[in-house]
Amino acid sequence: MIQRGADMLIPCGTSASLAAKRQTSTIPIVFISVGNPIGIGLVDSLSHPGGNATGFSDILADLGGKQVDLASELQRGRGPVDYFWHTGWSDGKNRLRVAEDAARSVGLAFRLWEIAEITDLNEVVADAKSSGAVALIVQPSPFTYQHREKIVDATNKQGLATIFAFPAAGREGALVAYGPDYVHMYRRAPFYVGRILKGTKPADLPVEQPTKLELVVNLKTAKALGFEMPISLLVRADELVE
């Protein structure tokens, strides 16, 4: 795209945004749906990005603590917290650490269930079930987003609840999903594109974070799993899938 004379790059997701940043330090970049733009080196800070990139964070890197809270609520305060993650992603350890620290801060044990390839999915899920897992926190990553339907299918077959950070997963069969409103985020992006095309520098546009997070609870999945949902969770839900 750069060789063809692109005036601006609009990458979606962490991997694409990093690729764009590696290729140019001058062409404006408006990234969308990046969980940790400071940690991965896209910007210097959210308020003053610096350089040639700005855009929209989905704050998925910061949701580990909230996922732990949801797991504890689903399990009536009992542990351990079971955490499913993809080992082949560079930012995965950072997100894992946030969740682990949150579990330890409230005195809950923390168990890891690692997956390297999608072919390992059924075995890992079966191992988690046989070890007494009740609900799996699914780490948000490009891998778990791409394979979310397979993960939901495998866990539901084993009678395991899942907690995702992608609202779409809740509508597709995960028990609970809590995360940003991506439609709103993508609708905001043209505003930044327009300002940059009119002369504003990316360095002068702060990175926006979501103003709305959605809590989706799938009652069909709860019924299929025989899972009694806490009333406190149901009344907070933005959407109940029936």
**pLDDT by 10s per residue, the chain, length 242:** 999 999 999 999 888 999 999 999 999 999 999 988 998 899 999 999 999 999 999 988 889 999 999 999 999 888 799 999 999 988 899 899 999 999 999 999 999 999 999 999 999 999 999 999 999 999 999 899 999 999 999 999 999 999 999 999 999 999 999 999 888 899 999 999 999 999 999 999 999 999 889 999 999 999 999 999 999 999 999 999 99
Whole-number Å distance between alpha carbons of 207 and 57: 7
Q: Are 116 and 86 in contact (CB under 8 A)?
A: yes
- Centroid of chain to Cα 75: 21
Q: What angle do CA 20, 98, 213 make, to 5 degrees?
A: 70
* Per-residue pLDDT at 26: 96
* Per-residue pLDDT at 208: 96
Task: Spell out the domains of the chain, with CATH numbers in brackets.
Answer: 14-59+181-212 (3.40.50.2300), 61-179+214-241 (3.40.50.2300)
* Per-residue pLDDT at 61: 80
* Per-residue pLDDT at 52: 97
